[in-house]
Homo-oligomer: A and B are copies of this chain.
Amino acid sequence: MKEQFVAYIRALQETITTKIEAIDGTASFKEDLWKRPEGGGGLTKVIENGAVFEKGGVNISEVSGKLPESMQQYFGVKEANFFACGLSLVLHPVNPMVPTVHANWRYFEMYDQQGAIIDQWFGGGQDLTPYYLFEQDAVHFHQTCKTACDMHSPLFYPKYKARCDDYFYNDHRGEGRGIGGLFFDYCRISDDMQLEDWYCFVTQVGNSFLDAYTPIVEKRKQLPFTEKQREWQEIRRGRYVEFNLVHDKGTLFGLKTNGRIESILMSLPPRVQWRYNHQPEANSEEEKLINVLKNPINWV
Contact = CB atoms under 8 A, between A and B. Distances in A.
A43 interface: no
Contacts of A273: 270-272
Contact of A275 (B48, B171, B276): B48
Interface stretch (A10-18, A218-226, A261-269): A261-269
Contact of A271 (B55, B172, B262, B272): B272
A265 B235 CA distance: 13
A182 to B, nearest CB: 26
A79 interface: no
Contact of A246 (B252, B262, B271): B252
A73 interface: no
A228 interface: no
A189 to B, nearest CB: 35
A180 B150 CA distance: 56
Interface in A243-280: 245-246, 252, 255-256, 261-262, 265-266, 268-277
Contact of A262 (B30, B252, B265, B277): B277
A255 to B, nearest CB: 4
A234 B268 CA distance: 14
A172 to B, nearest CB: 4
Interface string A213-246: 0000000000000000000001000100110011
A46 B246 contact: no
A268 to B, nearest CB: 4
A206 interface: no
A252 B268 CA distance: 19
A173 interface: yes
Q: DSSP class of A's interface residues: helix, strand, loop or mixed?
A: mixed
A32 interface: yes
Contact of A48 (B32, B252, B262, B276): B276
A93 interface: no
A55 B172 contact: no
A181 interface: no
B55 A276 contact: yes
Given A238-B268, A270-B273, A261 B55 contact: no
Contacts of A173: 261
A46 B275 CA distance: 10
Given A241-B241, A245-B246, A246-B252, A266 B271 contact: no
Contacts of A234: 271
A46 B276 contact: yes
A57 interface: yes
Report, nearest first, the 4 A-B pairs whose CB atoms are least far apart: A245-B245, A268-B274, A172-B255, A262-B277
6 contacts: A48-B275, A234-B271, A246-B255, A270-B274, A270-B275, A272-B274
